[in-house]
Amino acid sequence: MNAHKQGRCTLVGAGPGDPELLTLKAVRAIASATVLLVDDLVNEAVLAHASPAARTVHVGKRGGCKSTPQAFIDKMMIQAVQDGEQVVRLKGGDPFIFGRGGEEVEHLRQAGIDVEVVNGITSGLAGMSSLGAPLTHREHAHGVVFVTGHAKPGDSGTDWAQLATTACQAKLTLVIYMGVSSLDHISQGLLQGLPAQTPVAVVQHASLPKQREALTTLGELVNTVQRDQLQSPSIIVVGDVVQGARAWNTHLSRPEPRSLQA
């Protein structure tokens, strides 16, 4: 350990994938890093902003895949900072929206390390923007709920029926992350509080050239995802704002939901 100089740690949101959606502050932080701990969903093109002398460590964190244990990542961050390194923990989307950023900040602070957080554009926002639709609208949505479809082990998870009832009554858009693997359970719950004709958008690989998306309704959601073979990572947006998508009228004119090309 460097006895004279302690390093620092910055949690940086790398955004949804498109490297042009990085903030200027994120670019500066990446460029100044001597050590980068990089999540799986971070686009490799983002690392072009890193110093050639920086040490890059890929610490996979992805639903349904083998992941680097969180305790190991926490230990690596703390040790690197204590060794005097300028550490950037690079995370897909935003560190504080289902990125476990809150947990990492707590561990760093407990170790006596001050940490800065640089926000990134979350995929729920980027995915809808790519369709030309908003998440809120004065007539259709008075607010938006970001919710995970992946419950912590031992946790019963979200009460989808109750959430759907609240969303219907309060005119809220639902943005569901990590929901594809539990889609049947989620859709069954949502149908207890929302009409089957509620518009839904599914966006896979938001903002990337390989983005795929489909417009459908809540009643046809499971069939659409299976038919079009949409997979993780995907964002599922439920609510009337989906009608603002550029291709929504085209969707209505067809007898079955169809995939839309980016």
Point out which residues pair with 10 in neighbouring strands. 88, 116
CA dist., res. 21 & res. 126, Å (int): 9
Catalytic residue among 18, 74, 128, 178: 178
Q: What count of other Cβ atoms lies within 10 Å of the Cβ of residue 142?
A: 12
Structure tokens at 98: 């289902």
Say whether 1 is catalytic: no
Between CA 235 and CA 95, with CA 21 as vertex, the angle to 5 degrees is 60
Question: Distance of alpha carbon 132 from its chain centroid, rounded?
Answer: 19
The number of residues making up the chain comes to: 262
DSSP 28: H
Give me the helix-helix angle, 160-170 and 183-190, nearest 10°.
50
Task: At 216, give phi and psi (nearest 5°).
Answer: -155, -165
- 39 included as an active-site residue: yes
Q: How far apart, in whole angstroms, are the C-alpha atoms of residue 150 and residue 138?
A: 30
Q: Which of 61, 74, 91, 128 is catalytic?
A: 61
Contact 163, 132 (CB under 8 A): no
Scanning the chain, the segments in alpha helix (DSSP H) are: 24-32, 70-82, 101-110, 123-130, 160-170, 183-190, 221-228, 248-252
Angle formed by the axes of helices 183-190 and 221-228, nearest 10°: 150
**CB neighbourhood size of 257 (10 A):** 20
Per the residue annotation, which of 39, 74, 94, 228 is the catalytic one? Answer: 39
Q: Is 210 a catalytic residue?
A: no
Catalytic residues, by residue number, are 39, 61, 178
